Structures are given as structure tokens and as C-alpha cells.
Amino acid sequence: MAPKHSNSNHPSKGDLPRTWAAQTLAFAAAVGDTRPVTCVGGQTHWSLAGTADSTADRVSAPSGVVDVLPEEMLVRVGAGTPLVELAQALFAVGQQVCLPQDADPLATVGGALAVGHGGRLQLKLGPPRDSVMEVTYITAQGQISKSGGPVVKNVSGFDMCRLLVGSFGTLGFISEVVLRATPIPAVSQWLVGPPQALDPQTPEVDQSATSLQTLLHAPASLLYTPTQTYVLLEGHAMDVKNEATMLGTQGFEPVSQGPTLLPHRISCRRGQEYRAGVDSGVDFVALGGVGVVTSTHPGPKPRIDSVAASLNRRLKQHFDPTGRMNPGRDVLAGTVETDSAARGTLR
């Protein structure tokens, strides 16, 4: 069946180069509107959120950097584009986006967004969903739809940009995104120091982490491993030099790179990242101040409120009533549902 455009806010050939519009149409045609279908990227996080149905049709999103707008700090890119290709295109104009900077060469833009993994700069740049300004996606009905816009005030209705990030392709397949970029700083310097210390008298906060964030003006990244603490300083040369000198008095020394983030993700309260990593019982790299721990193996099963779990199921039913999009994947996979009554009814 030929792909259909949704009635509102759909891309046109006037908006995109003719060849790119053709790629989007071809992607929609491949997705179709009847058979179970799986969207495949670089498969670097293929083991997360359940097991993909091996009998489903396989499709891949369009690849390529469509347009870089350095003056507006925006980039339009196909979801199948390798992250390294996007990074190179932005580096040429002195900019970057909040997606993994140390990603596997096979990792794609759409894959990172579908999994919801940002890079090591989330403390500075925020989570990846905050950088998605516009998304073109294929619905379960085979329609080409668009949500968001380069100007925030243009957005109305469901914020599909945020819903699609971290949905593992279960609500729709991203074809193209517009991402907000930021300038690459004049100077960047990683430093490594002693591990964090846990204070048994104050189990609710990692004291060393809080001290570091208070000590520094605006660290770009704080990463904790079981045996070391990494700090990324960015900015003007003199500012970076002064903070690096101050950290030297705390046992830190320059290093060429920080650690690579690990495939599995554990969510926790901000300020408890190191403690959550230690409690997981596996090797970890925790993102200080972000509420995220990455690990070599899945950590303890996360608890999810029954109201939130119900909302997730209702969204899936609304956007994919036949369950044909990425069958076998489930954002609730591996979670433990808890009763919200113990904490009061959510409104």
C-alpha cells in the first residue's frame, strides 16, 4: 500500500530536497500498515527492552545530514545517520549535540533517540529529549507525520518529540529529526581523581559529589567509576586552567579522556548516582548530577508506579493498537510495578 500523509503538519517536497522526500516516502512504504515490522539501526543496544521478533519485517531509516544551520544552531538529519557522521558535520562548524560523543561507529541518531541515551555531557546539555526540536516519523498506520518545529511556540497537541525519545520504536519509527546544537567550547580538559566517598550518616546524598559540584562553577561532566572520579572542564582557557589547578589540590590530574559509557542504564535520584552504582553490584560509570548510572549488566529491576505503567500501556494502545511496531520490545520490560496507593493517588 502506498504511504499516506497525515492530514496535519506533514512534510512536503517544498520543505525538503526532492531526493530526501523520496527517501522518506520509500521508508514509509517499507513500513506499510499491516505486517509486524522492526526498525533496525546499528544494533549497538539490541539487547535492551526485550527481544525483537525475528519474524517481523525489517526496515532502516533514511541516512544522511540533510542541512546544517550554524547561525540558528540547528541540524536536520536522517534517523539512520551514524552518530560519528553527524558529529563530523557539526564539528566542521564548531558545534555539537547532546548525543553520545564516544559512540560505537555503527550507532545511529535514531537508535540513540529510540533508546533514550544521551552522551557524557548531559550534566551540561541536558537529556537528549530536550535537544529534539522537530521529528518526522512513520505511524503504525503507515502515515508520514511531523511533530514539533524549530520554533518552540509552534508546538501544540501531543509532544511526540518527547514521547518518541526512549520509546524503543514502539510508538512510531523516526525518519528525520531537527536537533538543537551548541557551540564546541574553546578548551576542554578531563581530569581524574580519587573515587567518591559514601557517608553512612547521610545515606540520601553522595557527599563527595555534592562537594565537587559546589566547588566547581559549571562542570560539563562528572563521571564516577568504582575506583575513580572524572571531571570534564570546558570554557575559556583561563577559567579551565584555574579550576584544574584547584582540583589538583584535591588529588586530580589531567587525563586525555574520560571513561566510555556502558550499555545498560539504571535510573536513580540526582545526587545518588555513585551510591546507586555501588548498590547495583556490577561495574558502572555513573553520570553525576544527572540521575543515571550506566553498567555492564542490568542492575536491580527498577520499580515503576502502577499509574505510570498504565499510562504507558494506554499510549501504546493509542498509537499502535495492533502491536505491529517493533514487536517484542516493551519499555516496561524488566520493571516491577508498584501500587501508587502507598504514596497517595497521582493526579
DSSP 229-259: EEEEEEESHHHHHHHHHHHHTTT-EEES--P
pLDDT at residue 5, rounded to an integer: 44
pLDDT at 344 over 50: no
pTM of the model: 0.85
Q: Which helix (H) or strand (E) holds 94?
A: none
- For the stretch 36-75, pLDDT in tens is 999 999 888 888 888 899 999 999 999 999 999 999 999 9
pLDDT at residue 271, rounded to an integer: 84
Say what percent of the chain tops pLDDT 90. Answer: 60
pLDDT band at 157 (very low <50, low <70, confident <90, very high): low
Distance CA 209, CA 229 (A): 9
DSSP 129-183: GGGEEEEEEE-TTSEEEEEE-SSGGG--SS-HHHHHTTSTTSS-EEEEEEEE-EE
- Candidate ranges 142-146, 214-218, 261-265; pick with highest mean pLDDT: 142-146
- For the stretch 158-205, pLDDT in tens is 678 889 999 999 999 999 999 999 999 999 999 999 988 765 555 555
The predicted model gives 313-342 an average pLDDT of 87
Residue 343, CA atoms < 13 Å, CB-side half-sphere: 9
pLDDT band at 266 (very low <50, low <70, confident <90, very high): confident
pLDDT at 8 over 50: no
- The three grid cell numbers given for residue 245, joined into one nine-digit string: 589547578
Q: State the average pLDDT for the chain.
A: 86
pLDDT at 256 over 70: yes
pLDDT at residue 9, rounded to an integer: 42
62 vs 214: which has the higher pLDDT: 62
- Candidate ranges 13-27, 208-222, 233-247, 329-343; pick with highest mean pLDDT: 233-247
pLDDT at residue 12, rounded to an integer: 44
Question: Residue 100, exposed/middle/buried by CB under 10 A (0-12, 13-18, 19+)?
Answer: buried
Q: Which helix (H) or strand (E) holds 28?
A: helix 18-31
- For the stretch 179-190, pLDDT in tens is 999 999 999 999
Question: Residue 251, exposed/middle/buried by CB under 10 A (0-12, 13-18, 19+)?
Answer: exposed
pLDDT at residue 202, rounded to an integer: 54
pLDDT band at 140 (very low <50, low <70, confident <90, very high): very high
CA-nearest of 287, 83, 101, 113 to 185 is: 101
Say what percent of the chain tops pLDDT 70. Answer: 86
CB 41 within 8 A of CB 82: no
pLDDT at residue 113, rounded to an integer: 95
The predicted model gives 98-103 an average pLDDT of 84
